[in-house]
A = this chain, B = another copy of it.
Amino acid sequence: MSEPIRVTVWNEFRHERTDQEVQAHYPDGIHVTVAGFLESLPGIETRTATLDEPEHGLTDDVLNATDVLVWWGHLAHAEVEEHIVDRLQNRVLDGMGLVCLHSAHFSKIFKRLMGTGCNLRWREADERERVWVMEPGHPIAEGLGEYFEVPESEMYGERFDIPSPDTLVFVSWYQGGEVFRSGCCYHRGKGKVFYFSPGHETYGIYHQREIQLVIGNAVRWAAPAGSAIPEFGNRKPLEELALG
């Protein structure tokens, strides 16, 4: 893992410019809040990018300098251009980490990498969510207790239409009677993807200590690692092909 880890925090940045309730929580945008607490961690460097920048702020130059991309989107998934999604998918397959937050379950890049509908049940009712650790030895759970609570949360409930995670790190309980696979790890190509569901624009969730801890851990886990990028295609045999 190269140090520092270079993180680009992407946000569609629409709610924060139009909705006073959202502005109260995230006056400069969710991306600035997320980049802010990540920047405070040792060994992490951040930049931000938003939907309305040229190429959504995700030029080749930016991605060349990105080890892990953090994604937040909600209203405007459809406005993300297909060729940028192609570019992101290729980057992940070549090793870039991707951390998808909350309503990014419905982002084009997450759906593309999952291959499924990624739909779920949801409800906005200011209810309590309790996030339980399923895999206590996983580095994304580092520093947590057995569970933590989000005092007011949007409910995201099963059936969540995703492939079964390579590692299921968190499962959430909701007051209204649902459960949710709220922390899910995937390998896709040489890249690693983490989906983490808590976090909504009208709650101060990204200011919560445990949430920040998890996102920081996820960035470290998702940072590029491993062996050479595989080469594909027509190949000579590595062994002599004896007449057999």
The minimal Cβ–Cβ distance linking A1 to chain B, given in whole angstroms, is 8
Chain B minimum-CB-distance residue to A230: B159
B119 and A227 contacting across the interface, CB-CB below 8 Å? no
B157 and A235 contacting across the interface, CB-CB below 8 Å? yes
Q: Interface readout for A115-146 with B: 1 if CB under 8 Å, 0 if not? A: 11101111101011010111111110111111
Measured between alpha carbons, how far is A187 from B167 in the docked complex, in Å? Answer: 10
Measured between alpha carbons, how far is A123 from B9 in the docked complex, in Å? Answer: 42
Is A216 among interface residues, defined by CB-CB distance under 8 A?
Answer: no
Residues of B close to A143: CB separation below 8 A: 227
Measured between alpha carbons, how far is A70 from B244 in the docked complex, in Å? Answer: 33
Chain B minimum-CB-distance residue to A113: B115
Residues of B close to A1: CB separation below 8 A: 139, 142
Measured between alpha carbons, how far is A121 from B187 in the docked complex, in Å? Answer: 20
Is A224 among interface residues, defined by CB-CB distance under 8 A?
Answer: yes
Known contacts A95-B137, A135-B187, A159-B133, A173 near B166 by CB under 8 Å:
no
The minimal Cβ–Cβ distance linking A125 to chain B, given in whole angstroms, is 6
B125 and A241 contacting across the interface, CB-CB below 8 Å? yes
* A132-187 CB contacts (< 8 Å) to partner B: 132-139, 141-147, 155, 157-159, 161, 163-164, 166-168, 171-179, 181, 186-187
Interface size class of A (residues with CB under 8 A): 35 or more
Residues of B close to A119: CB separation below 8 A: 230, 232-233
Residues of B close to A120: CB separation below 8 A: 232
Residues of B close to A146: CB separation below 8 A: 158-159, 227-228, 230-231
Measured between alpha carbons, how far is A166 from B236 in the docked complex, in Å? Answer: 31
Question: Pick the contact of A225 from B142, B155, B179, B239 — CB < 8 Å?
Answer: B142
Residues of B close to A167: CB separation below 8 A: 164, 166, 187
Residues of B close to A229: CB separation below 8 A: 136
Name A's B-contacting residues (CB within 8 A): 1, 89, 93, 95, 112-117, 119-123, 125, 127-128, 130, 132-139, 141-147, 155, 157-159, 161, 163-164, 166-168, 171-179, 181, 186-192, 224-242, 244
Sample of 15 A–B contacts (CB below 8 Å): A93-B161, A114-B115, A115-B188, A116-B189, A119-B232, A127-B241, A130-B179, A132-B158, A138-B187, A139-B226, A142-B226, A142-B227, A163-B163, A175-B237, A175-B239
